[in-house]
Chains A and B, each alone.
Chain A
Amino acid sequence: MDREKKLNFFTFKWGTLYGPEYVNRLYGSIKKYCDVPFNFTCITDDSTGIRPEVLLLDYNQIGPDHWRAYGQDKIFTREKLCLFDLDIDGTKLWVDLDNLIHGDITELVSRDFEKPTFILNHWNIKKEHGMKWFGKGSDCHVNSSFVAWQDAQWLFDYTDKNLEKLMFTYKSLDKYLYYQHWRTYRLAFWEEGIVDNFNFSFPAHTYRDAAKMTLFNTSHIRIQRMGIEAFELHETEGQWPWDIWTSYDE
């Protein structure tokens, strides 16, 4: 890692859901749309096929042993929070593999971040009854697909201190963040319009000029059988994201 560079991107790839093209194209998109020198690190259990410009960290070495002792049904993707414990200067960001960046992000990543900054699901939270199920524990309007921070050690420390109770209570990272830290105003959020959602925004599957990036999460739609036509990035051939995404191979 080049410590002279004060901008550090991280992404995670483990298991077989996404191939190396997701990592390579994500790197390509940031190279195209970020004018600030940066490091880009992939935390992975399989580096096969990942382009050489990408720095690598071993997924199986990330985070404390007692965090790894819990199953993946407990705070799924909690590994991301271990990045808050890394001793690296400057601005840190993590970006999910299925986040398509298609606008200039230089200004976004050059900001000062007083609080760790997450995505708020503007496309859902403003709907009528958007918070109807908050008390039931089934609401979630925080998304952790594009997160920036400078110093947020407190978030790792809080999680570690309350780990047993948090693991018991929350199945996903986003839900944990929503119920414990959105509720208590400890997080900041990107302004509405910067992040779009391919499957959830209305009208769906539409290119929006103002958006800098678009999310393609489908898990809730499929698990909850919501009856929405939903696409992962690699399923968009013939639609606008495909040409943009594949152009990042170059």
Chain B
Amino acid sequence: MDTKYRWYRIQYPRENFEISPILKKSPFTSKSNFGFAFIGDDFGNIKYRFLKRSKLTITVLDDSGEPTYQDVLTVEITDFSIFSINSLVFLRVENPGRSIRDLLNALEKLIGLGFTCKVITFEKIKPTEMFTNLDDTKLVGLKVTGIVAGQNLKANLELTSNEGIVTEKVRILEDMRYNITSAVIDVLYKGLRGKVSLASTGLVKITGKLTPKIIHIIEKSLPKLL
């Protein structure tokens, strides 16, 4: 089973700002539209859950075949952690939906003016660079978009290889100026295998038992990605 993650750099209105007491004061109750709960430890950090009321609309066809709409009240959840590295604060969101706007709005409402948030992407480094300290790292999938120099050609390429791709040796990439859309990396550490997929949007998909190790490696690299 794979788990998706996305990291954000966040800033508070002032130094030594404590987020936990603020989230504690905002529980999810029958009267509130949203709230927060503590759900335990997550790789050494407190894991929070954001709960928000929402509506699902169900289309029902009546006897004459006309569609009618019925609202079903539901609660959406998003799990996240907030942690610091070298006095920089980061937000890790687990299995983010298409948008985490409601979570960020709730945090902004509670923290106030001065709260900032910026998604972290991986375009500043080579995809495999973060994982070189593991026993084995193989780039097994690569999607790029770019232009072929001097030929006025736009290219969307998808490369896959179980043996591993060495981008410097792929001739077709030599003449291209390209951006990586996504990269899939197989990793091996102490006999355990894992797979990481990095997307240009900042979304990271991790599969396998190495998940805690991979998260630790990525989070160590976050300050370099800013």
Q: Do A and B come from one complex?
A: no
Chain A contact residues, CB within 8 Å of chain B: none
Chain B contact residues, CB within 8 Å of chain A: none
